[in-house]
Amino acid sequence: MAGNYDDRDGMIWLDGHLVPWRDANVHILTHALHYASSVFEGERAYNGRIFKSREHSERLRTSAQMIDFEIPWTVEEIEAAKAQVLASSGLQDAYVRAVAWRGAGPDMGVASARNPVRMAVAAWEWGAYYGDAKMRGAKLDLAKWRRPDPATAPSQAKAAGLYMICTMSKHAAEAKGCSDAMMLDYRGYVAEATGANIFFVKDGEVHTPKPDCFLNGITRQTVLGLLEKRGITVHERHIEPSELEGFQQCWLTGTAAEVTPVGQIGDYTFEVGELTRSISEEYEQLVRA
């Protein structure tokens, strides 16, 4: 599959039905386009099976509730929609995007309680998120924007509005020749990359930021489980940026990123070490099991 995302062959599940890809459109006065009343999930299918599919469907509904709307499809119906899309795509390995939003209706101000909630699911081929970084390590910039205080925004929702600063930070990073940017939180602690959680290694132990103001990713939780099974000590804690100098390895986790080594963050460099490589390989084996 190639070309612009609005001009492709295939089918998209939209509000309960499969429709031709090019016909899956919304009105220009859709509330979500103006006020970010939208939530989404990014998922990957391996060998025809979506990894932790139900957990993603449950989180989609929870995210919607966090930003004050109810998705009128149950978890079982969302699961069936994803299965339909995947079957119609003919893909065994695919990226799956489920999205729900407040549509166009009688309200066009900030409040939109009377507008219908809509939902769509699409799937496409998407290779390594960071290109060849799995071999040499991704290069990250240091973002100027910070993850907000959870009293400011619902940080555990996978909400579209929370990604505005991520887009800005990633664009700035790419302009400097980097793949992504590492963001700090509102207190100045290390938080995450623009679309992935972050892990560090020092003297055989793992350190990762405490997800108290950013999304506790499903891939992050999966990797924590892999580390626990190995008996590796993990410190979930607040990490000062100055500590990066003492870390030897680093990797990112996310559905799109999977487990990707990091070779550089700003002026700090890291080796693509044995633990990073082995966790990446173990994750690959797990999702294809």
Active site residue: 134, 139, 158, 170, which one?
Answer: 158
Collect all residues with Cβ–Cβ distance below 8 Å to 14 and sequence separation of at least 6. Answer: 24, 118, 119, 120
- The CA distance from 39 to 100, in Å, is 6
Strand partners, 184: 146, 190
Number of helices followed by number of strands (H, E) in the chain: 7, 15
**83 C-beta neighbours (distance < 10 Å), count:** 17
- The CA distance from 154 to 139, in Å, is 29
121, burial (CB in 10 Å: exposed 0-12, middle 13-18, buried 19+) = buried
- The CA distance from 116 to 128, in Å, is 36
- The CA distance from 13 to 15, in Å, is 7
Is 158 known to be catalytic? yes
Question: Residue 265: what are its φ and ψ, rounded to 5°?
Answer: -130, 110
DSSP E strand stretches across 48-204: 49-50, 94-102, 117-124, 138-147, 180-185, 190-193, 197-202
Question: At 141, is the secondary structure helix, strand, or coil?
Answer: strand
Residues annotated catalytic, as ranges: 158
